[in-house]
Amino acid sequence: MPVADQHASAEPARTPAGPVEEAQVVIVGAGPGGSTAAYHLAQAGVDVVVCEKSQFPREKVCGDGLTPRAVKQLVAMGIETEPAAGWIKNHGLRIIGGGMRIEVPWPDLAAFPSYGLVRPRQDFDEVLARAAQKAGARLYEGTTVLGPVRDERTGRATGVTTKDGRTFKAPLTLVADGNSSRFSLAMGWTRREDRPMGVAYRRYFRSPRHDDDWLESWLELWDGAPGRSRLLPGYGWIFGVGDGTSNVGLGILNTSDAFARTDYRAMLDRWLAGLPEEWGFVEENATAPTRGAALPMGFNRKPHYADGALLVGDAGGMVNPMNGEGIAYAMESGRLAAEVVAQALAEPSGVRRERVLDGYPAALAAEYGGYYTVGRLFVKAIGHPSVMKLCTRHGLPHPTLMKFCLKLLANLAEPRGGDAFDRIVTALNRLAPAA
């Protein structure tokens, strides 16, 4: 069943009663978006506090695969991405469906690295958080944020209260608390129902395929309903983690009317049962239970800035509707938010600072707005089984077409110049209206 109730009520903010700490920025959540923002803010000399409800290392539901977009952000943070540091590199995407098997390398672009990576979220997030901490961010683990402290006159967020009785006061708050974003709900910002939503379920298995240097995507997922099994909009994945295990899972979009009626754990089990036995994706090789999470897509929560708070990553619904990728967009939005906030703090509070802060949603719209509009049209189309079948059966036999599709679906195109495919992707993103 779909996970993560997007309308769960948040606890009300409390009047500061315990210890109060001051900062220039407080960040709610130390996932990829929050930690990336903290790193760049600290590098800019900003006094930043990060509140993370869990203790590292901690589990997160994810495919663990990183495209070159995410790798670029890691490089910008000075993070070592070699195998000796715990990463496994991949060359591109292996696509299986319609009786076809094709390997499509990551595009050779000046704007992005030429390789992807895999690393389990259990320690990936900690790598980023420690980089932010090393840069000067103050990280508080095991610190659950209850909600905003708000100015009684203006309603502006002026800090956060935490479950352990502390208050962190700051003129600006970055909200990076994930898909359900309790902080956003406390601010009165609910999920938009007209935007796509996905779910992902995954499990780890000991497998001889653990060192596969291609990300593998299976395009044919069937709902398995008795007598009327249908092709669903989504894909299964097999990503080698390099530590003796593989991350195996599936992601489905809500554009099919089977979305709310599908048992995704059972669907994952059925798919795994059909894979070759020698790959080892059987119960006795499982190293963890099946876990699932929601994928908030295409700007499904706005405003991205208002009343002293900026939304970053999943909290702002920034998962790519085309492929379900969230880490790269969390990191990119975290870096962008940090740049805007650093500039805003250099201005006196008031009209001038607000004008700078208003540049954050404008920059997000310019960067992703058109692309996400195209993405919403795409996921609506593949919600029809006949369209999904057409794409699978007739697209895969054409390698040149698949190279274009990879650039489009992974949002990997040269922003200036490049080949004809780059120019088409860039033009689509620029000309489609942002909404």
Residue 292 lies in a domain: no
How big is the chain, counted in residues? 435
Average pLDDT score over residue span 111-132: 96
Residue 28 lies in a domain: yes
Please give the pLDDT value at position 7: 38
Average pLDDT score over residue span 263-269: 90
3-state secondary structure of 132: helix
Residue 11 has pLDDT above 60, yes or no: no
Residue 268 lies in a domain: no
**Domain of 176?**
20-87+118-193+297-372
Number of domains in the chain: 1
CATH of the domain at 185: 3.50.50.60
Average pLDDT score over residue span 294-314: 96
Please give the pLDDT value at position 4: 39
Residue 385 lies in a domain: no
Q: Name which residue leads in pLDDT, 259 or 288.
A: 288
The tokens of 252 are what? Answer: 């489905």
| C-beta of residue 71 within 8 angstroms of C-beta of residue 33 | no
pTM greater than 0.95 (yes/no): no
Q: Which pLDDT tens digit goes with each residue over 167-219?
A: 999 999 999 999 999 999 999 999 998 899 999 999 999 999 999 999 999 98
Q: With bands split at pLDDT 50, 70 and 90, how would you rate the model's confidence at 17?
A: low
Residue 109 lies in a domain: no
Average pLDDT of the chain is 90
Q: With bands split at pLDDT 50, 70 and 90, how would you rate the model's confidence at 241?
A: very high
Please give the pLDDT value at position 222: 78
For the chain, percent of residues with pLDDT exceeding 90: 74
Please give the pLDDT value at position 432: 83
**DSSP-derived secondary structure for 353-406:** HHHHHTHHHHHHIIIIIHHHHHHHHHHHHHTSHHHHHHHHHHHTT-HHHHHHHH
For the chain, percent of residues with pLDDT exceeding 70: 91
Residue 316 lies in a domain: yes
The tokens of 263 are what? Answer: 């048992």
Residue 310 lies in a domain: yes
Residue 400 lies in a domain: no
Please give the pLDDT value at position 1: 39
CA-closest candidate to residue 277, choices 220, 216, 223, 209: 209
Residue 293 has pLDDT above 90, yes or no: yes
Q: With bands split at pLDDT 50, 70 and 90, how would you rate the model's confidence at 5?
A: very low
